[in-house]
Chains A and B, each alone.
Chain A
Amino acid sequence: MREPVALIGLVLVLSYIAAALVVGWLPLRDPLQISTQRLAPPTAEFPLGTDALGRDLLSRILFGARLSVQVAVVSVALATVVGGVLGLVSGYLGGIADLGIGRVMDVFFAFPAILLALGIVAALGPDPKNVIIAIAVVYTPIFARIVRGPVLALKARDFVEAARAIGATQTRIVVRHIVPNLLSTLVVQVSLALSWAVLTEGALSFLGLSAQPPAPSWGVMLSEGRQYVEFAAHLAIFPGIAIMVAVLGFNLLGDGMRDALDPQQQR
């Protein structure tokens, strides 16, 4: 079951990202264009039906991918870089730096993840930019912790010792010998973090704290669709499927890569 899993994950992830990249060139209706055909079920004209303002759901869902990808990718990239550097510093230097970083990170770990994100967005204001900051803040300590452990182990390895013995600078040791050995761990965690980021962006926009209407955002579409669920169930179903495909894709990919990269976990 190992490799097909990663492959299915990869296909789902690629279709999610591809939708975001090419949506502008597709022959779709304007996602904001209202029409008189309100709450129409799926037809040839509107393959996924229309919403309460007669807007094309297919177009809105595909444009929604763009927002979702932007938030997820930027926030996780920020968290990976900042958290990764903090974890490197913490693990490689040790001492006071390690203690200080560890203490501060512990405070962030003392909040349930979604609550921390919610609090940050509440303070900064409802906007996708602030959701990016919130998700990045939640994931930074996680990446710092993920990186710190392997760095501690790598620091003590013979090849690092040998590099030091032949006079390599600290920077060279970190960049050439430590970081490349962290990449496989990071790749798996990035995939899992992206799945969480997509879910969280969805949840926050569902709660009205991310993109504001009429922006085509999956969470907003779901919360709007909820009001019409009795007459137009498609409004409450399709945006949810979109979110789930993306989340499932990153989960499958992360799982598959972990199994492939970690011989101990192979089963």
Chain B
Amino acid sequence: MSRYLALRLSGAVPTLLGVSILTFLFIRLIPGDAIAARLGTSTALTPEQLAGLRAYFGLDQPLPVQYWSWLTSLLRGDAGYSIRTGRPVLVEIGERLPATLELAAAAALIALLVGLPLGLLSAMRPRTRLDVAARIGGLVGLSLPSFWLGTLIVLVFSLHLRWLPNTGGYVDFLRDPIANLALLLFPAITLGVALAAATMRMTRSAMLDVLGADYVRTAAAKGLRRSLIVRRHVLKNGLIVVVTLLGIQVGQLFGGAVVVEEIFSIPGVGRMLLTAIVQRDYALVQGGVLVIAILFVVVNIVVDLLYGYLDPRIRLS
């Protein structure tokens, strides 16, 4: 297993390097002058001033040199400074990361708690009313835009029923756990619905495949109880497929969080990113994109490891 772990981790290095190159080049895509963009000013600069600033920021160097110095300072924990606040980018992100991680984790939890059992039940009783309802629910859930669902939830639960303040927001879990969870519930549902629907559909289809397998028929022919067959033979084999497919989807939550944080005014990395985009605070945008991409890669590695644990064949090959 440790060999598999080492193999998997080293395999991520080229990907992470690629991510850093792409994120670095991102700032080059910006139309107009990079200096003006970095300074966030529209004031006209004299050519001499511009050249001076260019040299100061190292922009007169060839691209590979610039990339190398950006990467090495990044590895030392320096991702530059926010133009608006003047504070280090990584400090700005670090402060907002807990809210985003908590939101994504809660959404994933909701998706699993709803999607797995529904998918399983639906597969065990195909063509029943429950199955049809779950499948329609799955398709609708996949098609619900989160930015609309969030608005509807605010409309119903905060404006009509007055169950939550319509300002939304975020309270530190350590300061007030109950307020934290109360504010978390609706955003997590908004973010989790699509994943719950996807989970339900994947679980259903994976379980149906396994239920139709020869070894399950053999087990039934031997006279094993159905509940035992499901527990021993169906669940684990079906879950292997679900875990792989789910891995890709769970990481997508970090992207969806941008929208949900905006709707519910949660001060997370996603909302920071949007504000930074509007204010043309490119160092912060670059840092935010990089951090979320790294999180995404890490989640995928964890899922791969889980996959290796569930299915020994993967580890050995």
Within the assembled complex, what's the spacing in Å between the Cα atoms of A107 and B144?
29
B151, A236: Cβ atoms closer than 8 Å: yes
Partner of A114, one of B23, B140, B252: B252
B19, A124: Cβ atoms closer than 8 Å: no
> Chain B interface residue count: which class?
35 or more
What does the 1/0 interface line of A212-237 toward B look like (CB < 8 Å)? 00000001001101100110010011
Collect the chain A residues with CB atoms within 8 Å of residue B292's CB.
111-112, 115
Collect the chain A residues with CB atoms within 8 Å of residue B31's CB.
124-125
A226 to chain B, nearest CB (A): 5
B15, A112: Cβ atoms closer than 8 Å: no
Within the assembled complex, what's the spacing in Å between the Cα atoms of A115 and B290?
10
Collect the chain A residues with CB atoms within 8 Å of residue B148's CB.
202, 222, 236, 239-240, 243-244
A-B CB contacts (within 8 Å), total count: 136
A247 within 8 Å of B by Cβ?
yes
B171 within 8 Å of A by Cβ?
no
Contacts A107-B15, A229-B154, A236-B152 hold; do A244 and B22 have CB atoms under 8 A apart?
no
B143, A195: Cβ atoms closer than 8 Å: yes
Partner of B126, one of A108, A110, A255, A267: A267
B251, A229: Cβ atoms closer than 8 Å: no
List A107-123 residues whose CB lies under 8 Å from chain B: 107-108, 110-116, 118-120, 122-123
Q: Which residue of B lies closest to A264 (CB)?
A: B209
Partner of A110, one of B140, B146, B273, B293: B293
Q: Which residue of A lies closest to B254 (CB)?
A: A112
B15, A206: Cβ atoms closer than 8 Å: no
Collect the chain B residues with CB atoms within 8 Å of residue A120's CB.
29
A111, B296: Cβ atoms closer than 8 Å: yes
B68 within 8 Å of A by Cβ?
no
Collect the chain B residues with CB atoms within 8 Å of residue A118's CB.
255, 258, 273, 277
Within the assembled complex, what's the spacing in Å between the Cα atoms of A119 and B296?
15
A251 within 8 Å of B by Cβ?
yes
- Is chain B's interface secondary structure helix, strand, loop, or mixed overall? helix
A103, B256: Cβ atoms closer than 8 Å: no
Collect the chain A residues with CB atoms within 8 Å of residue B15's CB.
106-107, 110
B18, A103: Cβ atoms closer than 8 Å: yes
Collect the chain A residues with CB atoms within 8 Å of residue B151's CB.
222, 225-226, 229, 236, 240
Collect the chain B residues with CB atoms within 8 Å of residue A240's CB.
145, 148, 151-152
Contacts A107-B19, A229-B151 hold; do A114 and B145 have CB atoms under 8 A apart?
no
A111, B143: Cβ atoms closer than 8 Å: no
B135 within 8 Å of A by Cβ?
yes
Collect the chain B residues with CB atoms within 8 Å of residue A230's CB.
159
B48 to chain A, nearest CB (A): 28
A109 to chain B, nearest CB (A): 8
Collect the chain B residues with CB atoms within 8 Å of residue A115's CB.
254-255, 258, 289, 292-293, 296
B22, A114: Cβ atoms closer than 8 Å: no
B254, A247: Cβ atoms closer than 8 Å: no
Q: Which residue of B lies closest to A114 (CB)?
A: B255
Q: Which residue of B lies closest to A248 (CB)?
A: B143
Collect the chain B residues with CB atoms within 8 Å of residue A13's CB.
none
Within the assembled complex, what's the spacing in Å between the Cα atoms of A90 and B147?
37
Collect the chain B residues with CB atoms within 8 Å of residue A223's CB.
147
B29, A247: Cβ atoms closer than 8 Å: no
A124, B259: Cβ atoms closer than 8 Å: no
B260 to chain A, nearest CB (A): 10
Within the assembled complex, what's the spacing in Å between the Cα atoms of A226 and B151?
7
B29 to chain A, nearest CB (A): 4
A54 within 8 Å of B by Cβ?
no
Contacts A110-B297, A207-B259, A222-B151 hold; do A247 and B145 have CB atoms under 8 A apart?
yes
A233, B155: Cβ atoms closer than 8 Å: yes
Partner of B145, one of A104, A122, A243: A243
Within the assembled complex, what's the spacing in Å between the Cα atoms of A219 and B150?
13
B135, A1: Cβ atoms closer than 8 Å: yes
Collect the chain A residues with CB atoms within 8 Å of residue B145's CB.
199, 202-203, 206, 240, 243-244, 247
A208 within 8 Å of B by Cβ?
yes
B278 within 8 Å of A by Cβ?
yes
A207, B155: Cβ atoms closer than 8 Å: no
B312 within 8 Å of A by Cβ?
no
Q: Which 10 A-B pairs have the closest CB atoms?
A: A112-B255, A107-B18, A240-B148, A114-B255, A123-B29, A248-B143, A247-B143, A115-B255, A122-B277, A206-B147
Residue positions of A touching B, CB distance < 8 A: 1, 103-104, 106-108, 110-116, 118-120, 122-125, 195, 199, 202-203, 206-209, 219, 222-223, 225-226, 229-230, 233, 236-237, 239-240, 243-244, 247-248, 251-252, 255, 265, 267
Contacts A112-B256, A233-B155 known; list 16 others, CB within 8 Å. Answer: A104-B18, A106-B15, A107-B19, A110-B15, A112-B296, A114-B256, A115-B255, A115-B258, A119-B289, A124-B29, A125-B31, A203-B146, A236-B155, A240-B151, A240-B152, A252-B139
